[in-house]
Chain A
């Protein structure tokens, strides 16, 4: 009985080791490394440079940014970025311009995804929500002001 469980154990660990060796289970392939430099940036420009290497984005009417004009509770501001009208969307980034760390989230899309993201973000005060879309190597953006009546950071 002991011999049997021992064999089972060695077989199981052997299989995992093979998977790791083949690069199937390495953490980097499972989840990408977090961009701490961009996320700790204090301005939207620095944050964008941290992600895309450039902060100059041109305003585009093809990006639909949906956010409330007045957010009653800044801690849960629904934001939707619809860039399905833009061809070749590679990535969407959402920033809140006056947050202590403006970068909220960054989405990278592979072939099987459409340029669409909907989420809820925290906003400390009245400010602009900025959506930056990278498509065909170019940076496009859309901006909208959201008035916050109650702060989003526990205040």
Chain B
């Protein structure tokens, strides 16, 4: 059992469950990064005793709305451009280490998603082996609206899993997909009724426990390569774009919106 400010984890019957619980919708900022790093630090131990990992949300709004843009904007204000860029790169490199660690875990990993699965939230789901979605889940990469590309490994992992036309649609239009569409294109493995996603994820995790663990690990390693080189290039591209004036203008517009959660384009 472990508990951070933004998430907690526990294990039961060979399954680790990570619950995201930051208001309003598990935005990933520095506090979440620290908690994810703490979780990654105990993953070795959990892998010796468990066979599966489920990541899910306690928030009604959904799985995760992505990066904490308000924190990003506020931290960048009053800083020299070079200092802000250094901070962004350090954040990205740290979160990539965590994402890569979960991606490479010997556990079979399941993202049990509902509601908003946007930006960094979708990137977190994409590190998992399986995505199980509530029928009300919605998936989106809105980064281009801010003059950016996804920065937590989204594009290389989408390229690993999906066809290029779907990726271009998601990325270049910034539109969101519902769970049915996400299943049609192969992003999601199961779509379930409202409120059932965690139960189904637990049943799936129990099924995974019936197989020989060494075989499961070998199979995962064989079919799920981690695109390290592209991930590194994604960090570089994000940093290159981050210094463009469009980014601060986009962040300012988002932060100053009267809407508490301005998700429409």
Q: Do A and B come from one complex?
A: no
